[in-house]
Amino acid sequence: MTTAGLISARCDSADRLVESDEILAALQVRLGGGYPGVIALPGLLSLVRRARMAGATLGAAMTVTDEGQPLSFSARAIPDGAGTRIEISDWKVASDAWQGDEAASADEALVRQLAEAHIVLDAEQRIVSGSVTAGDLADLASGLQQGFGKYWTDFVTLEGNAHRQPLHWRLLDEARVAVPGSSRVWKTRILPLRAGGFELLLVAETVLINVPAKAVAAAPEPLPQPDWKGLLGRKLAPALRLPINRIVANAETIRTRLAGPLAEQYVGYAGDIAEAGRHLLSLVEDLADLETVEDEGFAPAPDHIDLVDCARRAAGILGVRAQERGIAFVLPAPDVAAPAIAEFRRVLQILLNLIGNAVRYSPEHTRVEVDCGIDGEFAWITVLDQGQGIAQEHAEKVFEKFERLGRSGDGGSGLGLYISRRLARAMGGDLTVQQAPDGGAKFVLLLPADTAAQATAAG
């Protein structure tokens, strides 16, 4: 292992590296950047930008692979006039430090860049050493100085876990914790070290902006949080849709060989890219909808609609997906009508979610039945599948935010049913689920009936 002394550099107001000691300037060029030029190391660029925008000194531990050799170092970004000064210390060649491949994984490298507390633990998860870069973790930093040999869990509160050490490290990896003195929610990452022991990283799940470290440490009240209201739905979602759609479209062009001959393995890669792009786009839409339905001022625009028409449209949109799995739709008879007062777009959104879930979780070569009707002052529509169903004790849990009921890797976000119920209730109705008599899940959507349309039809 080799080390270097303090490395200094300076960036201008556009975050371009304009002055640097030789060791960092050489790394900048080897990583494909220009000198002078925008910082080529993503983690360091992010740190410099955050420090410039916050007007406060920030620090972080980082890793980078240079010509196949993993390096680690500590970086500080210090706003200085129109630019930013950079100070790098503890520059180490770390090929023998981490367990696993010679180069740290991209995921671990990103987590290390985002972490605001780095703690080394022994094999029993007791504290060996630690460093903290966040001002609101001042109490933790003080505790670490006196905490040698103590379990790290003594200094935080584990969300939903009252057990004390010893616990297997995998049970604590990616756990949410509260840290005394910090109003933010933190998530743990525990990485095994090759020589034994672990590295514990704390990554914030909430953002702290424009609060200098000294002010944070001394603040007697909860720290002010930025107002992100409307940021995703009104700003980020529209900006993300175009590039993600381009990724999907270009990947499909490659997958279908429209751009020319292609080896089979690359066809598969392109298909994976397209599928990942669609999943990301779906997640963006779900998060934007989540922001909308949780807004205090949210109010649907009711109109005169027919639930039967909505059901047929949703089934038509999902028809290709159902055919791929050999699933047949059983829809209401042509002479059935279920007039209701609700916003057409939102009702269609709910039905796409319900019928889409039915197609996704039903066995192949089964059927999904959709029925509609009027019961008193409510119009109703049911979606029934032949899948495993939902146990009665999970009938409410399934509508909770981010609830997956143990499913993972199926492309869902855990938000669809939560958003659908919020929409149904905002329109004066409700959404429930029950176990079907012969198995499967039966979702029931209730909406206010259109009594005027009923009277007209009867007359």
Going from N- to C-terminal start, the domains of the chain cover 3-218, 231-293, 303-458
Task: Place 219 in a pLDDT band, splitting at 50, 70 and 90.
Answer: very low
Q: What are phi and psi of 185, to 5 degrees?
A: -95, 135
pLDDT at residue 53, rounded to an integer: 83
Residue 445: predicted pLDDT: 97
Q: Rounded to whole angstroms, how far apart are CA atoms 358 and 345? A: 20
- What is the percent of the chain where pLDDT is above 70? 81
pLDDT at 242: 76
Is the per-residue pLDDT at 3 higher than 50? no
Residue 350 has pLDDT above 70, yes or no: yes
Q: Which CATH architecture has domain 303-458?
A: 2-Layer Sandwich (3.30)
Is the pLDDT at 215 greater than 70, yes or no?
no
pLDDT greater at residue 39 or residue 107: 39
| Per-residue pLDDT, 437 | 79
Model pTM score: 0.48
**pLDDT (tens digit per residue) in 356-375:** 999 988 999 999 999 999 99
Residue 107: predicted pLDDT: 60
Computed over every residue of the chain, the mean pLDDT equals: 80
Average pLDDT over residues 416-443: 91
